Amino acid sequence: MADGSTNGTPAADGRPDGLPDVLRRAHLIGIGGAGMSGIARILLARGATVSGSDAKESRAFLTLRAQGATIAVGQRAENLDQLPEPPTAVVVSTAIKETNPELAAARERGIPVLHRAEALAELMKGYQVACIAGTHGKTSTTSMLTVALQHCRLDPSFAIGGDLNESGANAHHGTGSVFVAEADESDGSFLVYAPRVAVVTNIEPDHLDRHKTPEAYSAVFDRFVDRIVSGGALIVCADDEPAAQLGDRAADRGVRVRRYGRSATGEHDAQILDYRPHTEDGGVVRVRIGGRELDVTVAVPGEHMAVNAVAALLAGVELDAPADQLAEGLASFGGVRRRFEFKGRANDVRVYDDYAHHPTEVAAQLRAVRQAAGSGRVVVVFQPHLYSRTRIFADEFAKALELADEVVVLDVYGAREEPEPGVSGQLIADRITEATVHYEPAFDRAAELAAGLVRPGDVLVTMGAGDVTQLGPEILRELDARAAAGAPATGD
């Protein structure tokens, strides 16, 4: 276990006093990204001088500039020279290569370089830290815990991999003593955190382009458990066998372990007794926690979201928040951007967007979409993310997508990877046999194709971690245009 010590000086209320010296003048490369923009928000709120760069403008980019950050479009060494004073640190993510001109210039000039997670760890010092990790569900669970603690008037600081629908923000510098953070296992960077409460929602092999083997991927979670401070707790899902086994190993090492799920037992654990779905807007999960039973309303559809809510409830209790107030806060949770996010309705077709990019996530979300669709059909436009993931999980993706009625498979969004010969979206499309499938490698034709497949009463969801998120508004415009022109919406 970590010893729980910090380099910051705690204030009388338990919050850190001031800003870490290394981050007083911080330059963030790729400042518009989800993780980097959140760190920038917190730095600005804590009085840091913030600069940065990104390849293009974005919503986060413009917001940060309005809040006082100096941001350049394009990444070049001169961006550092044009600052009034040299940065005290340059912050990067794993996606930034050593050949990046700003990173290379920082190293040449002896400017300290911090990974994004290291910068966040600096900002966490002096707080009671809650980190939510796991292959799936960590963004939603982190967001739920944040909203629940806000309802308890604890005003936590937070850093999340998505924007809360309530505030439109992915990060916040709060007045309370708690810091809630999504902990990313993809590159092992969460091993710099020292949480009081660590949640592991589930463990399933992923990011094998970095971890190489399922065994190595699983092992990084054991190392994460070793980062829990003395007296802290590990919270695991008892229904997920790898997570449950992680809890057993942690308990053998003397870590205090709390479990949630249908199979969880124990006076201080959270056992799911029942889940009652609503047609479109979530459901109610009944939980036994601390020797009593409690109904928790979840306003987002899918039993997997209800399970995430129970994880957040148990984490909140571990942070000394009252269960009743936490449950009230969870009922007000309105979702996260790109997590089954409603984009609009046209011609009696509801359009959603979702970030699911692993077979298990795709299957869980399509089950939730089926619940929301009622008597309507489910149409999914899926964009595979990463060539390696497409190659490794092609069969699993096909099986998951067969939960829809109509499937449009786009080509692979390569992100950080170079194309692999023979690997395309067709690998997945060719394996789909239990749903009507369309392979569309031309991104600019996807919206028209999708709009031609739906009929009134259907639910359409765009799905994936890449630029497929852009298609929702285009599909809605196409549907509106067809309705205005009197074109029949038959799904033929």
Active site residues: 138-139, 182
- Taking the C-alpha atoms of residue 439 and residue 426, their distance in angstroms, rounded to an integer, is 6
C-alpha distances in Å from residue 171, one per residue of 142, 180, 248, 348, 365: 11, 10, 33, 35, 25
Q: Is 332 helix (H, G, I), strand (E, B) or coil?
A: coil
C-alpha distances in Å from residue 130, one per residue of 106, 181, 235, 364, 488: 32, 6, 10, 25, 52
Tokens 């293009």 correspond to 56
- CA 265 to chain CA mean position, Å: 28
Residue 171: closest CA among 299, 54, 43: 43
Q: Answer yes or no: are the C-beta atoms of 398 and 428 closer than 8 Å.
A: yes
Q: Which residues partner with 261 through β-bridges?
A: 271
Contact partners, residue 419, CB within 8 Å, separation at least 6 = 387, 412
Tokens 């902990």 correspond to 183
Residue 157: closest CA among 342, 14, 327, 301: 14
Amino acid (one-letter) located at 329:
G
- Taking the C-alpha atoms of residue 33 and residue 101, their distance in angstroms, rounded to an integer, is 18
- Taking the C-alpha atoms of residue 382 and residue 384, their distance in angstroms, rounded to an integer, is 6
Identify the DSSP state of 99: T
- Taking the C-alpha atoms of residue 492 and residue 490, their distance in angstroms, rounded to an integer, is 5
In SS3 terms, 240-278 reads as CHHHHHHHHHHHHCCCEEEEEECCCCCCCCEEEEEEEEC
